[in-house]
Amino acid sequence: MAELSRRKMLLSGGALGALGALSMATPAQALAWTWAPSGSVAGTGAGTDPRWVWDEEADPVVAALFERGDVPEVNRLLWDWTRNDQPLPDGLPSDLLAFMEKARQLPSWADRGKLETAAQFNKKRGLYLNLLNGVGGGMLSTAIPKEARSVYYSAGGADMEDRVAKTSILGFAVGALNAFRPDGNCVVNAVKTRLVHAAVRHLLPQSPHWTGEVPISQEDILVTWHTLPTYAMRKMLEWKVPIGSADSAAYLHSWQVTAHLLGVKDEYIPATWAAANAQSDQILPRNMGPTQEGVELTDILLGQLAEQTSPGSISRPIVNALGRYLVDEQVANWDQIPREPFWERTLATVWPILVRFREGLIPLPLVPEIAWTIDEALRQYILFFLTKGQETKIVIPTGNRPG
C-alpha cells in the first residue's frame, strides 16, 4: 500500500511539479520534514513525510464505489444518517459498511471529560471561534495553493455558497455543545468529510486543470487543521483572552479527536500546544503562497460575508478590513484583499477594547448562555443564507468542476 501511494504521487508531474508550484512561496531549505512523532498523541511513529501519505483505508473503498457506480445510492442512504449514536443504514455496500463502522469509533485516547470541557469552552468563546475559524481560517486557506486549487477545480468550486455551507457544517459540529455526545453529529460529519476527501483524491487527478500529486495528503489536512485550532488559539492569546489550562487542553483535545476521525494518523496529531505550534511553524510556510484561484476564492468569500452581514450596504469595505486584520500582511497581499485604511485603523483600535469589555462581562451570571444564544443564532443565519433555506448535508461528490 505504501508503494501504491508513492506511485500515485507521481501522477501528472509528481513531486517535482508540486515543489515547483510552491517555490514562489517557500525557500528550498524549508521543505524538509523534521517534526518528531514523539510530539504526537501516539508518542511514536515512522516519521514519514506526511506530504506523501494519504488515506490507505478510505481511498480504496471510495475508489471501488466509483468503479461500481455506487456513489449516488450511497449518498441517498447516508442522507438521513445524522446522529453519532445512529446505526448505519441498511443497504450500504459491505466494504463501505465495514470501513465506516471502524471510522466512526472514537480513538482509545479520547477523554469524555475533556470533550465536555471543550463544549463549555466553545460556549464561552463562540464569538471569537466563529470569527477566527470562519473568516480568518478562510483567508488563510485561500493562501494555500494546493487547497485553493483543490477547492476551485473540484465540484464545490462551481458553487461556493454550497461549498462553504458544507465546510461550515463540520466546523459548527465540532463547536456544538453536544458535538461528541450520542445525540450530536460531529462524528457523523467528520466521517462523511473523510469520504469526501477520498472522493476528491479519486476525482481531481482526472481534471485537465489539476497537475501535481494526488490532493489532500495527510499534510494537506494538517495544514488546514492548523488554520483552525492552532491559529485560533494563537490569535485569542494575542488578543489577551484569558484561557485557563484546562480549557486550553480541552479545546486542543476536541480537535485532536476530530483529526483522528478525519483519518489523520495518530503519529501526526500534536499532543500539546507546543507540539502543535512547532508543527504549524514547519508546514504552513512551505505550503502557503499566492494563486489566481486563491484570489478569486477570497473575493467570493468576502463578498458572501458582506452579503450575510448587511445586504446592499457599504459593509464590503468593513469586511475587507476585517479580513486584513485577522491575517498577516503577507497573506492579505497574496489574497489581494483591498486596503481600507479608515476601517483598518478603526478595527485595530476598537477590537482590543471590545475584547476587554466582553471578557469583563463573561464571568457574570447568564452571560455565557446569552452569548451562546447570539453565537448560535449567527451560525444558523449563516447556514440559512448559504443554503437559501434548503436542507444541506455533506455528500460524496460525483464529479469535478464543470468546464
The pLDDT tens digits for 11-70 are 323 322 322 333 333 433 446 899 999 999 999 999 999 999 999 999 999 999 999 999
Report the percentage of the chain scoring pLDDT > 90: 57
Tell me the C-alpha distance between 164 and 335, whole Å. 17
Q: Calculate the average pLDDT of the chain.
A: 84
Per-residue confidence (pLDDT) for residue 159, from 0 to 100: 60
pLDDT band at 280 (very low <50, low <70, confident <90, very high): very high
Higher pLDDT, 148 or 193: 193
Number of other residues whose CB lies within 10 A of the CB of residue 72: 12
Exposed (0-12), middle (13-18) or buried (19+): which is 150, by Cβ within 10 Å? buried
Structure-block grid coordinates of residue 145? 495553493
pLDDT band at 192 (very low <50, low <70, confident <90, very high): very high
pLDDT band at 347 (very low <50, low <70, confident <90, very high): confident
Tell me the C-alpha distance between 44 and 35, whole Å. 12
- In the chain, domain spans: 125-154+215-387
Structure-block grid coordinates of residue 97? 459498511
Contact 185, 173 (CB under 8 A): yes
Query: Tens digits of per-residue pLDDT, 325-340?
Result: 999 999 999 999 999 9
pLDDT band at 403 (very low <50, low <70, confident <90, very high): low
Tell me the C-alpha distance between 340 and 324, whole Å. 9
Q: Flag whether pLDDT at 385 surpasses 50.
A: no
- The pLDDT of 157-170, averaged and rounded, is 63
Contact 24, 290 (CB under 8 A): yes
Contact 286, 219 (CB under 8 A): no
Give this prediction's pTM.
0.85
